[in-house]
Amino acid sequence: MEIEIREYREEDEQEWMRVHAIILSISHAWNYSIQERPNYEGYESTRLVAIAEGRIVGLTDTQYENEPGELCFLNDSRGGYVLEFGRLPEFAGHNIGRLLIDATVEDAKRKGFHRLEFWTQDRAAQRYYARLGMREIGRHYRFRMKATEAIDCALEKGRIGIEYLYCVCLPEEWPRIKQQYEIITRHPLEPHLCIGYEIRF
Ligand SMILES: CC(C)(COP(=O)(O)OP(=O)(O)OC[C@H]1O[C@@H](n2cnc3c(N)ncnc32)[C@H](O)[C@@H]1OP(=O)(O)O)[C@@H](O)C(=O)NCCC(=O)NCCS
């Protein structure tokens, strides 16, 4: 099957949104579904789509930092943060992910950047990045918990309702935190281990 990687065009918007929604439904990588196509105003970006059989079957967006550390975890130089990445499930087995990453690297180089970060809460994507040989740069748990009495009181208890708190902690703290607080475990609000990877070029 022939796969073409090309730049995203404005006229792709509706199709991009539909393909994005399908990819989002098969991965734990995203916290929210989106109703507007991100445009990364004020930032340089690489926005690519994979085309097969005349339609969009994969996509990736990278936003580049204006200042080191603004978006990425590592801050030794300005990096690119890969925010959107995936392909339709029925197009598995064609290495579309690799083609999208390679094309992003080429564009990043042209723009004068030398590193990309990939962060994901999706276990399959974590295995995939590790398998590609990307270097792990960090991990943390992301979880939602009920507000404690002290937080409720600090925030006008009774006037401001706190549905839940969205929190982050290091893996070594997680066993204790899990015991100590009321963690929300039901899907789609369950906790996830988020792992960051980078590639340099
Ligand atoms: C990540 C993703 C883009 C990779 O898709 P792909 O490039 O089509 O991958 P392929 O099916 O062609 O597989 C390519 C290779 O990677 C391997 N691979 C694919 N998924 C893997 C996984 N979850 N774990 C380990 N290896 C994996 C395949 O075995 C294959 O290896 P081979 O070349 O030795 O045969 C795809 O799984 C995806 O779209 N996932 C959902 C969206 C997502 O979670 N994105 C990450 C957002 S952070």
Which tens digit of pLDDT belongs to each residue from 161-197? 999 999 999 999 999 999 999 999 999 999 999 999 9
46 and 131 share one domain: yes
DSSP line for 41-59: TTS-EEEEEEEETTEEEEE
50 and 80 fall within a common domain: yes
How far apart are the two ends of the chain, measured CA to CA in Å?
A: 29
Q: Is 57 exposed, middle or buried, given 0-12, 13-18 or 19+ CB atoms closer than 10 A? A: buried
- Are residues 146 and 125 located together in one domain of the fold? no
Kindly state whether residues 22 and 85 are assigned to the same domain.
yes
Do 35 and 95 have their domain in common?
yes
- pTM more than 0.85: yes
Residue 97 CA to ligand 1 centre (angstroms): 6
Q: Whose CA is nearest to atom 25 of ligand 1?
A: 128
Task: Indicate the number of domains in the chain.
Answer: 2
Domain residues for the domain of 143 are 139-192
Residue 146 above 90 pLDDT?
Answer: yes
**148 in the same domain as 120:** no
Phi/psi of residue 19, nearest 5 degrees: -65, -40
Separation of CA 78 and ligand 1 centre (Å): 27
- Average pLDDT over the chain reads 97
Whose alpha carbon is nearest atom 26 of ligand 1? 128
For residue 135, report the distance from its CA to the centre of ligand 1, in Å: 17
